[in-house]
A = this chain, B = another copy of it.
Amino acid sequence: MAPEGRYHHGDLRRAVLAAAVEAIEERGLGLLSLRDVARRAGVSHTAPVHHFGDKAGMLTALATEGFDLLAQALDPGDGETIDLVDAGVIYVQFAVDHRAHFEVMFRPDLHHPDEPALAVARDRAGDLLTNAVVAATDTPPGQQTELASVAAWSLVHGFATLWLAGALPEQIGQDLQGSARSVAKLLFSVVHRSDT
């Protein structure tokens, strides 16, 4: 990936983010070291500074990339809205497939709080989720819809988070796909009862 022996890497920003994902998946977010990331990318430990400023900047960029990937996975394109259950399954699948991204996305204590790109990416993904709820409820957006969206998001987010934490019983983990779909089907109950 990295051109060997060259002073200028060529695409260090991307390489650093990829190395960070690799490091987080191997040793966990808590043990992430910027120097280790730089080593994996084959550059000196201060090279990432120029692209990200500091460690928090790198994690902010990683979180932004994560929200972009999630939005991309949730967006069927052509201005259409995704089915609610499908959206739920995709959300869980994303958390599992992009564990490193997902963990960083919801750790604002590790971010630069005032990074506009992060807010933009997060809002885009959030809007796609809300749209799926609105389409499923078939009622005009309002305060009830907002609560329904929050509840729906909470359900799939909680499921994904608990699975990542290894807190779910073994049976669930053995058939994660099926369990995720079963849980996602409950989104209908959550969304339709939330107006009572």
Tell me if A110 counts as interface (CB < 8 A to partner B): yes
Kindly identify, within residues 22 to 45 of chain A, every residue whose CB is under 8 Å from any CB belonging to chain B.
27-31
B-chain residues with CB within 8 Å of residue A192 when the two chains form the complex: 189
Tell me if A18 counts as interface (CB < 8 A to partner B): no
Contact of A155 with B155 at beta-carbon distance under 8 Å, contacts A165-B107, A186-B193 already known: yes
Kindly identify, within residues 103 to 135 of chain A, every residue whose CB is under 8 Å from any CB belonging to chain B.
106-110, 122
- Is the Cβ of A157 less than 8 Å from the Cβ of B161? yes
B-chain residues with CB within 8 Å of residue A107 when the two chains form the complex: 30, 165
Tell me if A10 counts as interface (CB < 8 A to partner B): no
Q: Interface extent on A, as a size class?
A: 35 or more
B-chain residues with CB within 8 Å of residue A168 when the two chains form the complex: 150
Determine the distance from Cα of A186 to Cα of B31 in the docked complex, in whole angstroms: 37
A183: which of B30, B154, B157 is its contact (CB, 8 Å)? Answer: B154
Give min CB distance, A187 to chain B, whole Å. 9
Q: Smallest CB-CB separation from A164: which chain B residue?
A: B106
B-chain residues with CB within 8 Å of residue A196 when the two chains form the complex: 185
Tell me if A143 counts as interface (CB < 8 A to partner B): yes
Tell me if A93 counts as interface (CB < 8 A to partner B): no
Determine the distance from Cα of A9 to Cα of B191 in the docked complex, in whole angstroms: 54
Q: Smallest CB-CB separation from A144: which chain B residue?
A: B182
B-chain residues with CB within 8 Å of residue A110 when the two chains form the complex: 28, 30
